[in-house]
């Protein structure tokens, strides 16, 4: 049977993967305007434009036909490599395929239900900007990662099992407890002024400087910029105490504030 193919003879294996991807959200279909803006960006942060793969998001355009070929040419001329198109009506999909590009359904259709894991969350992937260019150019970084207080969120009350409270930008402050089975997420820091019994994820867009602060640690899971610890990995002596959680050298460190 073909199921037990000799591993040495296999030419490839299929694997699912989540790769950071830059999405170019087009608000104009005019190739000339796109060219102008790209030229400006190129002079600001040349490090960003190194044959970077991009997905062209055309959802915000309300045009049945796009000069997709010209837009792609403009991108390539500025060392951006369009690999796929997201959204748009059927003719756009057809021309994307004709140009050898992939096509993704629009965000609405493919958006996972809110309770699914962060990694699958479409909007997060959208807003993701690679770290490298952000560091290469302070200006670009300021644009990509809003300051910690911008657009933060304060939630008052108990976050209950099955509930998810997210601050897609900035910090999340919970004035109350986060119960087992609940999940709190923030682009910036997560503060819990009560017992943290559920999951807390800070720096969900990759901000390694984000932290988690809570009054009483019983968390099921702590994560900063994707580096996580489960309840089992947490030093039992820290349970029930007031702590801060931060990333040092890629390691999650939990320190008592008592």
Partner 1 sequence: MAKIIVVTSGKGGVGKTTSAAAIATGLALRGKKTAVIDFDVGLRNLDLIMGCERRVVYDLVNVIQGEAGLNQALIRDKRVDNLHILPASQTRDKDALTQEGVEKVLDTLGKDFDFIICDSPAGIERGAQLAMYYADEAIVVTNPEVSSVRDSDRILGLLASKTRRAERGDDAIREHLLITRYNPSRVDLGDMLNLDDIREILAIDLLGLIPESEAVLRASNQGVPVTHDDSSDAGQAYADTVARLLGEEVPLRFHEYQKKGLLSRMFGGARR
Note the residues at the interface with partner 1 (CB under 8 A). Answer: 158, 160-163, 176-177, 179-182, 195, 197
Min separation Cβ 177 and partner 1, Å:
7
Minimum CB distance to partner 1 smaller for 129 or for 220: 220
Closest CA to 233 of 249, 245, 216: 245
Closest CA to 27 of 37, 18, 17: 37
Min separation Cβ 231 and partner 1, Å:
14
Q: Is the torsion defined by CA of 227, 224, 57, 139 positive or negative?
A: negative
- As a whole number of angstroms, the distance between CA 80 and CA 252 comes to 35
Dump strand ranges (E) for 61-127.
Answer: 80-86, 102-104
Strand partners of residue 154: 173
Min separation Cβ 163 and partner 1, Å:
5
Minimum CB distance to partner 1 smaller for 177 or for 254: 177
Min separation Cβ 180 and partner 1, Å:
6
Minimum CB distance to partner 1 smaller for 166 or for 179: 179
Minimum CB distance to partner 1 smaller for 95 or for 179: 179
């Amino acid at each position: 049977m073909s199921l037990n193919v000799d591993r040495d003879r296999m030419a490839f294996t299929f694997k699912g993967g989540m790769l950071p991807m830059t999405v170019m959200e087009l608000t104009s279909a005019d190739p000339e305007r796109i060219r102008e803006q790209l030229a400006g960006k190129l002079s600001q942060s040349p490090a960003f434009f190194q044959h970077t793969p991009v997905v062209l998001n055309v959802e915000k355009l309300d045009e049945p036909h796009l000069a997709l070929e010209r837009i792609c040419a403009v991108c390539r001329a500025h060392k951006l490599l369009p690999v796929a198109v997201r959204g748009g009506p059927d003719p756009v999909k057809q021309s994307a395929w004709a140009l050898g590009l992939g096509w993704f359904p629009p965000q609405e259709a493919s958006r996972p239900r809110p309770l699914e894991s962060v990694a699958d969350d479409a909007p997060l992937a959208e807003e993701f900007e690679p770290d490298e260019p952000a560091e290469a150019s302070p200006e670009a970084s300021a644009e990509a990662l809003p300051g910690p207080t911008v657009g933060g969120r304060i939630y008052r009350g108990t976050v209950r099992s099955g509930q998810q409270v997210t601050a897609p930008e900035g910090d999340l402050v919970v004035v109350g407890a986060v119960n087992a089975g609940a999940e709190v997420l923030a682009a910036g820091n997560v503060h819990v002024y009560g017992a943290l019994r559920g999951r807390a994820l800070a720096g969900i867009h990759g901000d390694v400087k984000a932290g988690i602060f809570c009054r009483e640690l019983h968390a099921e899971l702590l994560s900063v910029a994707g580096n996580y610890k489960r309840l089992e990995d947490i030093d039992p002596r820290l349970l029930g105490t007031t702590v801060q959680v931060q990333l040092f050298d890629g390691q999650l460190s939990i320190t008592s504030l008592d």
